[in-house]
Amino acid sequence: MINKKMHALIFFSFFLLPLAFGSYASAQLPDAPIELSTFNPLVKHDTSMDLNKNKVHDHLENIVSNGFESEYYTTIVTFVTPLNERIRNSIESLDGIIVSSWSVIYGAAVRIKGTEIGALAAIPGVNFVTENYKSKRMLSTSVPQINVRPYVWDTLGFEGDVNDAIAIIDTGIDDSHPDFTGRVSHWEDFIGHDVYTASDEYATATDWNGHGTHVSSIAAGSGTGAETAANVEISGTIGLPHLDELYGLINHVEVETTGTVSFEIWWDETDGSNNPADTLFLVIDTDLDGSFSDETPIIDDYSTAPLTHTTASLSPGKYTFIIGPYEGGSPSSEIGRAKIQYKITRPASSASDGNNKYRGVAPGCEIVALKALDDVGIGSQTEFTDALDWIAVNGDTYNIAVVSMSLGFDSEIPAVDNAINNLVSLGYVCVAAAGNGHTDGDYVYSPGTASKAITVGAIDDVDKVAIYSSNGDTGSGKPDILAPGGAYKDPIGADENTHPIVAADTNDKDVIDFLSGSPTTYWETELNTDDYIAFQGTSMATPHVAGLAALMIQAMGSDWTHTEANVLFIKNILCGTATEVRYGEIYDIYSNSPTLNRGARDLVEGFGKVHGDAAIEAFLSTYSAGTNVTETLSSSPTGMQSWARKVELVEMIEFTAGIEMDGSADYDLYLYDPSVDVTSASAILTSSTTATAGVPENILYTPANNKTVYLVVKRVGGSGSFTLSAEATKTGTPTNSFTFPFGIPFAAWIVLSTIGLTSVILIARKRK
């Protein structure tokens, strides 16, 4: 038993935040095209950024004035036209260096002295000069939660097309992990080389951080490393600061099915002073009582490292544990600042569908890995725009269809959002993380603020909005949808039924994160290869949607082409078939609860939780009037919660539809026009959203022209079956005259009534 007081510091090494069938027909776009905007590389900036109207961002001026004006600064310069020789010569005459230039926007990264920034802005053709913003990372059981596993894979038959690639802009990828064997079709590095160096530090696929590998695994990993084994190995590295004896770092291990848990812990003091007698301890709250005082610590000396321990059989739950120095020494404990590498072998989540347990959403797709974040997950606007520009130039060559961006900036940047929107105009589906700043008061920022991007917030695995998931600022219209991102980072405050996202871990050397901040340190040799790691964040939610977009593209078949209309069609279907989430996570003084607004978006969840089954069947399967359909919607996070079918309406043929449902069920009925941007209220042609459970929902719509629409049933609350029926009735009336279904003109109705009179007299007047 422990007879000394045990202390703990929270660490986050496991949780990375910085995310009856109808007939089948070929998919097709609606006859009326979605309203498009043209490719526009000219960046317009908010005038509030330049109060003195000198074409230099006021924030950049403040940075320079508080630094040394003679220093060189990397700036982002946008132009009125493409960069030409005259402007290039003018920049070089100021001793400026063009680090990068782009076609996706009229812009370039220019390194120049602070004293020359005003002159740079004054060059004719220069539009605006701003700082080089910093970007950062945003931190398999989640795939069923978006109704992809196993239904979309096994019943609909879509796993991703090898001729489609998902571009992952992140910290890189470790292509040695078996989950990516033969899958990484191209690698491009924007971090390890620049205009000053001829070599490239990351010339081959590399990920010394692990974030990019994890994200890639969610989007398109094969799950080969774990296959269908009963156990899964979870590993990672942490930085242990110099702590007093019996102080330690605290976290928890997930047990999803009953079984034993094995720990293997190695440590290495950063100053090399590893004494054979130095002792590390591990203590686990195996009885889930929230206390360590009644638990026996497991200890081991460095001479016999690693520290190993296997628990007795544990029932499902979250088991908190502490790692730290056991004995005193000089100055206060015998183990100083140390790197720790751990491996935890625990029962894997149950999966009875025969597929690999930690398989990604679109395992048939290829991956194009673009490194735009360094080893600690930091990059800049320059490298990020380099990656976007590379896709604009090379995307067709490498069959890129979807771009996944689990990174973000700390503000809204017009140049970044403009570049994203231009990629969409070129026909690339761009998916961006909403961010993890809700508890810090941060909103959704770039690239999530790009209007044409699909911006993804996070839910945990009991369908609550994750406490960390960033909300949109007033009027932003963001986020768009939600996808699984994992449970809240604090094990003590987390719901017992929620978990982080398990996906592939890099086999490369691991960067060590010391909480206090320090020079970059690595654990040079990966002691446990081909394994997995558990993270959470909107970073993890984003590749779920990127992978789903790739499945939708495969389902569209030959109807998919690189056009803005197709990209926005995918966004409209994803949002139109999403269901609202009723609750948000609550922690301490914080809550992240959405508004129930029945079909409209809000700034917490957008349109709600994404559903792969409904999104694909919305355009792949057709419903015909006169057919009765009975289906069941579920309250389970992995059950069907949205039903959608394509309906072909004919000019002036009245379409009426209704659903009857079980008494406890609250379902809504919608008719969507996919040719209208889903963010517009006119996208919903008609709806029925009675707020009382068990009450039938009915809609009526008469199209002025032939039209392809989508009939959607969405669960709001409860569960159970619904029965859908519909009729299409010819009105036989000129366009300027309204007629009731049985043919009597409205102008001919005269209703005569008297109190107590039981009959109604109808007098019809003949048309002239």
- The pair of structure tokens assigned to 134 is 């910093």
Looking at residue 686, its amino acid is: T
pLDDT at 742: 33
DSSP track, 274-334: --TT-EEEEEE-TT-SS-STTSPPEEEEGGGPSEEEEPPPB-SEEEEEEEEE-S--SSS-S
Indicate if the pLDDT at residue 33 is higher than 60. Answer: no
- Determine contact, residues 542/405, Cβ cutoff 8 Å: yes
Least confident of 25-39, 97-111, 206-220, 641-655: 25-39
Task: List, in order, residues 6 or more apart from 246 with CB less than 8 Å away.
Answer: 2, 4, 5, 6, 7, 281, 324, 325, 326
pLDDT at 64 over 50: yes
| 360-391 residue pLDDT tens | 999 999 999 999 999 989 999 999 999 999 99
Q: Supply the pLDDT for residue 618.
A: 97
| pLDDT reported for residue 138 | 67
488 assigned to some structural domain: yes
| Any domain includes 314 | yes
> Which range marks the domain in which residue 311 is found?
230-347
Q: By three-state DSSP, how is residue 145 classified?
A: helix
The Cα 307–Cα 267 span in angstroms is: 9
| Confidence (pLDDT) at 518 | 63
CATH number of the domain encompassing residue 77? 3.30.70.80
Q: Is residue 573 part of a domain?
A: no
Q: What is the DSSP string of 670-684?
A: EEE-TTS-TTSGGGE
Instruction: Give the pair of three-digit tokens for residue 591.
Output: 């809550």
Give yes or no: residues 130 and 193 share one domain. no
Given the structure tokens 């000069």, which residue do they identify? 129
Do 180 and 218 lie in one domain? The reply is: yes
Question: Does residue 264 share a domain with residue 212?
Answer: no
Domains identified in the chain, total number: 5
Asked if the structure places residue 753 within a domain, the reply is: yes
Which tokens sit at 432?
Answer: 């961006």
Q: Does some domain include residue 5?
A: no
Indicate whether 9 pLDDT > 50.
Answer: no
- Residue listed under structure tokens 């088991």: 319
Q: At 432, which helix (H) or strand (E)? A: strand 429-433
C-beta of residue 602 within 8 angstroms of C-beta of residue 608: no
Using the predicted structure, report yes or no on whether residue 762 has a pLDDT greater than 50.
no
Q: Is 4 inside a domain boundary?
A: no
Q: Are 113 and 72 in contact (CB under 8 A)?
A: yes
Q: Residue 202 pLDDT > 60, yes or no?
A: yes
* SS3 of residue 99 by DSSP: strand
**Tokens read off for 358:** 């930690």
Q: What is the pLDDT of residue 740?
A: 32
Residue 29: is its pLDDT beyond 60? no
Selected residue with higher pLDDT from 675 and 114:
114
pLDDT greater than 70 at residue 674: yes
Examine residue 36 and state whether it is found in any structural domain, yes or no. Answer: no
pLDDT digit string (tens) for 281-295? Answer: 999 999 888 788 888
pLDDT-above-70 percentage for the chain: 87
Residue 287: CATH number of its domain = 2.60.120.380
Note the pLDDT of residue 271. 86
184 and 125 in a common domain:
no
Has residue 585 been placed in a domain?
no
What would the pLDDT profile of 711-754 be if each residue is shown by its tens digit?
999 999 999 999 999 999 876 544 433 333 333 333 333 332 33
Say what the pLDDT of residue 22 is.
30
Residues 419 and 296 in one domain: no
Q: pLDDT digits over 310-352, tens only? A: 999 999 888 889 999 998 876 688 898 899 999 999 988 777 7
The closest of 441, 439, 435 to 478, measured between CA atoms, is 435
Same domain, 205 and 285: no
Q: What is the pLDDT of residue 588?
A: 81
pLDDT recorded at residue 47: 87
Judge if 373 and 494 occupy the same domain. Answer: yes
Main-chain dihedrals φ then ψ at residue 230, nearest 5 degrees:
-75, -25
Q: Give the domain-ending residue among 284, 319, 347.
A: 347
Domain boundary among 135, 158, 174: 135
Residue 193: the pLDDT is 81
Average pLDDT (194-217) is 88
Whether 158 and 270 share a structural domain: no
Return d(Cα 286, Cα 308) in angstroms, integer. 16
Beta strands at 262-269 and 307-310: parallel, antiparallel or unpaired? antiparallel
User: Are residues 484 and 393 located together in one domain of the fold?
Assistant: yes
Separation of alpha carbons 515 and 112, rounded Å: 34
Q: Is 26's pLDDT higher than 70?
A: no
Question: Of 269-273, 576-580, 638-642, which range is least confident?
Answer: 269-273
State whether 680 and 765 are in the same domain.
Answer: no
Tell whether 441 and 322 lie within a shared domain. no
> How many Cα atoms are found within 13 Å in the side-chain-facing hemisphere of 212?
34
Q: pLDDT tens digits, residue range 490-512?
A: 555 556 667 889 899 999 988 88
Structure tokens at 409: 């900036």
Same domain, 304 and 393: no
pLDDT exceeds 50 at position 761: no
For residue 280, the model assigns a pLDDT of 95
Residue 614 has pLDDT above 90, yes or no: yes
Comparing CA positions, the residue from 685, 425, 676, 699 lying closest to residue 573 is: 676
Q: What is the pLDDT of residues 14-25, one digit of tens each?
A: 334 433 323 333
Calculate the average pLDDT of the chain: 86
Which strands make up the sheet holding 697-701, listed edge to edge?
629-633, 720-730, 653-661, 697-701
CATH of the domain at 159: 3.40.50.200
